Structure 1
Amino acid sequence: MKQAWLYVLPWDIGFPGGVNQVVINLINTQKKTQTLTPKLLIDQNSGNANYIASTPVDYFPLTNPCWSPGILGIVKYLIKLPFLLFRLYRYIGNDVQCINPHYPTLNVLNFVLYKKLGFYVGKIILSFHGTDVVSIKKTVGFEKYLWHFIFQHVDFMACCSQKLADELNDYVDNSVEGKIKVIHNGIAEQIIKAATANSGVLPMELDNSRFILNVATFERKKGQDILIRAFAKIRVSVSPIKLVLIGRSTDILINYRQLVSQLDCENDVVFIENLEHQSVLNFFRKANVFCLPSRYEPFGIVLLEAGYFSCPVIASNVGGIPEIIEDGYDGCLISPDNIDELANKLIDLLNNSDMAEKMGRRLRNKVIKTFTWDIAASKYLNLLSNN
């Protein structure tokens, strides 16, 4: 039997979001290359079973000593641990060559103990995506101790950007720094081609309209409020123009709608919630500018997707974004929280189509050559032979 690569997620694969897109694309790539058989494990309480690329999703009850406070949590965990390890033994057996939790929680302690007790000889690779590292750095006391124990006993820690790797390096003990590896996210060109084979229909209000596009979960760190304010400053001078904001709905969305109303630009701002990924891709193809004014951004897969469609990009000079965008060559970088700078860059690109097209073409060339899931999957696979 071909050996397996076990992906682990702390939530249901059906939820929209960047981490799930990473896992889905890695699974698709592994199935295409037929290197290892991908499997996916999710906490049993996460939701109903789904299937990704004909890969069954298994639900498994994971826990850790910090689910209940103090000594009680430790006692409860120790009582459950033998039964949990036995279930892991029956599930993992001898088929799994790599256990790869993405956006790891303290539940990965179960896999570490399973290996440390001699039941498993394969690799454990933790994959970090951004706010998971932020959360870990805030832990204290026993929880912090457990994370450092985990870091000592996993084989590798993969980060989606050098900037995120630097953040993690600053936190971990010197003895484990060599375990931290950078594996950039990518795009799946064949999947994008298939998804956009038909041009798709945009909302009626965008028919024949120029528009600025933003695709991100509606949350403060993504900076949509900055983009809305910058758009309000320029919309008359570059009219006709619209702003399209696509993302997973959150509580902050009502604030953004109120902001649009206060700035008197309801007729020119379009909110689209919880749109499936394949439908989002058609917006990249038709947008005049893509803008990602994030306050915090570990990487930014949406920048790769915009680049694939040669869409000119403006993004904040934060996190892993400068690892994708070279300012003034294949995109524009701005300071976070700077409304005036963003407004000026939008005017520059919207009024200079030649410059915008050149930047878009250059970014497309970079994305196709440098940022693919084939490259990312190959780097993950190489870790199996890296000691």
Structure 2
Amino acid sequence: MKKTWLFVTPLSLDAIGGVARVVNALAAEMHQVSLNDVDWKPMVFVLDWQALYPVSEIRNGVSCVRCRVPPPDMITGGKQAALKPLYALQYLLLKRFLRRHNVGVVNVHYVTPMSFALIKVARQLGIKVIASFHGADLAEIESASTAPTFWPEYLDMCDVLVGCSNNYAERLRRSITSINADLAKKVTAVANGIDINAMALADKGAVWPEHFIQQSLVVSVGTFEHKKGHDTLIRAFAQVASELQDTHLVIVGRDGPEYQALELLVESLGLAGRVTLLKNCPYPKVLALYCLATLYVSASRVEPFGLVMAEAGLASLPVVATKTDGATELLAHRQTGWLVDIDDVLSLSKAIVYLLNDNDNGGRGELAESLQRSVTRSLSWRKALDAYLALA
């Protein structure tokens, strides 16, 4: 009988963002290979506070469940005494759930306190626990206000701690060493994958403004939040726009706390006709936008892996990126991409102008071709899945 690999995430599977895509892709890949030669079957557990009772569905052949779990203070002796009987019952139901589905691995993607109860139950049942970090989840561990109290116990219950790139795993190792050096020995790296056939999903019927088609289009994708560095990109593009008239910047992302501030920044710099901010754009339409673009730019301050940069490479786009963990691992400067320092507005604008001015398409085209070859050769969800299975 196949054992169940339980992918756990606090994020909606419909969310526009990298973690949801990672969980969906790994589960779908495991489902495909489990039909033939793998001793595991996938299941997805979404930590959803609104789902007091389990809500089940099938997505791409994979069983998915949304359910509330007891918060950490209910397990560790919190103050809400009136609710403890309810959470005690949920705790027992979690045990029954893991046993009934023959769960052999609990694999948390995007680590938060919400998954504490589930991994505590898993450890009591002797189930292996793998915690996969993807970005902002590490920031909470690095916070001095939470690390000394909660995280040592959480991390101690995990068998393996995964960073989604080699560089990011090293950062994870350093951060955890400051809590407990022995726990840092659990850290390893598993690079995310990419669907090499993703461009077939592009929305071929997408309708765009005429200037998107007629001008050189610079595209960036990322949630409208501080860490994505959209403000730096907009300031850099102000210089680009003053030098190159037939250019337009499109920033696509999930709605976030910086959206209104970025709108005001665009207005204040006189870029209202030169910059477009698109919220919550469907994934097939984002892929279609890549097909129109001349250049992809990532100005992120933090990027553990850089899935969208890899996808841009898959779409044969040259990439300019800031030197984040993910970008420096994915891109070799002037070979498969162009790297600049984080928050360096001047260097970013110069790199964009340089590549857009490459009218003969020589250097720009070579960068794009080299990145596409690198991405298709080194990244796939099957490789990522095999790396995870090796940890079981």
Residue 148 (1) aligns with residue 148 (2):
no
Pairing 1:360–2:392 present: no
Query: Once superposed, what is the RMSD of the aligned Cα atoms?
Result: 2.4
- Give the structure 2 partner of residue 313 of structure 1: 319
Call closer, same or farther: CA 1:140–1:220 in 2, change over 3 Å. Answer: closer
Match of 1:216 in 2: 222
Aligned partner of 1:350 in structure 2 is 356
CA distance in 2, matches of 1:46, 1:320: 34
Deviation per residue, 1:310-354 (Å, 9 max, x gap):
101000012221000111111111111111111110111011121
Partner of 1:18: 18
2 CA distance for matches of 1:311 and 1:90? Answer: 49
Kindly provide the amino acid, as one letter, of the partner of residue 221 in structure 1: K
Maintained 8 Å contact 1:159/1:182: yes
Give 1:82 shift: 4.1
Q: Aligned in 2, Cα 1:137/1:6: closer, same or farther, shift over 3 Å?
A: same
Matches within 5 A, 1:127-142: 127-140=132-145
Task: Give 3-state SS (helix, strand or coil) of 1:235's partner.
Answer: helix
1:223-264 CA distances to partner (integer Å, 9 max, x unpaired)?
111111111112242221111111111232111111111111
Residues 109 and 355 from structure 1, CA distance in 2 versus in 1: closer, same or farther, beyond 3 angstroms? same
Determine which of 34, 46, 49 is the counterpart of 1:45.
Answer: 49
Contact between 1:160 and 1:299, CA under 8 Å: does it hold in 2? yes
**What letter is aligned with 1:84?**
Q
Listed one character per residue, the Cα deviations across residues 192-236 of structure 1 (whole Å, up to 9, x for unaligned) are 143038474434441232100010001111111111111111224
Deviation at 1:270, TM superposition (A): 1.5
Q: Using the TM superposition, give the Cα deviation of residue 125 of structure 1 relative to its aligned residue in structure 2, in angstroms.
A: 0.5
Aligned to 2:243: 237
The correspondence for 1:157, drawn from 161, 168, 173, is 161
Matched residue, 2:344: 338
Deviation, structure 1 residue 20 = 0.6
Determine whether 1:123 maps to 2:131: no
Instruction: Please say if residues 47 and 115 of structure 2, whose CA atoms lie closer than 8 Å, have aligned partners that are also in contact.
Output: no
Deviation at 1:138, TM superposition (A): 1.1
Q: Distance in 2 between matches of 1:233 and 1:69?
A: 54
**Shift in CA distance, 316/77, structure 1 to aligned 2, threshold 3 Å:** farther
Change (3 A) 1:285 1:50: farther
SS in 2 for 1:86: helix
The 8 Å contact of residues 165 and 305 in structure 2, kept in 1 or not, is answered as yes
Q: What is aligned with 1:372?
A: 380
Which residue identity does 2:382 align to in structure 1? Answer: D
Q: Partners of 1:49 and 1:43 in 2: how far apart?
A: 12
Worse-superposed segment, 162-171 or 270-279: 162-171
Q: In 1, distance between residues paired with 2:199 and 2:271?
A: 35
Q: Could you tell me which residue of structure 1 aligns to residue 253 of structure 2? A: 247
**Post-superposition offset of 1:30:** 1.1
Tell me: CA distance 1:43–1:377, structure 2 relative to 1, closer, same or farther (3 Å).
same
Q: Report how far residue 76 of structure 1 moved.
A: 7.0
With over 3 angstroms needed to count, the CA separation of the structure-2 counterparts of 1:52 and 1:366, relative to structure 1, is same
Amino acid at match of 2:130: I
| d(CA) in 2 for partners of 1:67, 1:233 | 54
User: Is the partner of 1:239 in helix, strand or coil?
Assistant: coil
Q: Structure 1's 265 and 69: CA in aligned 2 closer, same or farther, altered over 3 A?
A: farther
Q: 8 Å contact 1:27–1:53 — kept in the other structure?
A: no
Q: Secondary structure in 1 aligned to 2:49? A: helix
**Mapped contact 2:249–2:275 kept (Cα < 8 A):** yes
Gaps of 5+ in 2: none
Contact 2:199 2:315 in 1 (8 A): no
Q: Which moved more, 1:302-311 or 1:246-255?
A: 246-255
Counterparts of 1:266 and 1:112, CA distance in 2: 49
Contact 2:220 2:251 in 1 (8 A): yes
- 1:69 Cα deviation (Å)? 11
1:176 to partner: Cα distance:
2.3
Percentage of identical aligned residues: 26
Q: Deviations over 1:4-42 (max 9, x none)?
A: 111111132222111111111111211221232211112
Say if 1:289 and 1:9 are closer, same or farther in 2 by CA, change over 3 A.
same
Structure 1 residues 234 and 64, CA gap change in structure 2 (3 angstroms): same
TM-superposed CA distance for 1:144, in Å, is 3.4
Q: Which 10-residue stretch deviates more, 210-219 or 62-71?
A: 62-71
Other structure's SS at 2:72 match: coil
TM-score, length basis structure 2: 0.89
Q: Using the alignment, how far apart are the partners of 1:186 and 1:116 within structure 2?
A: 28
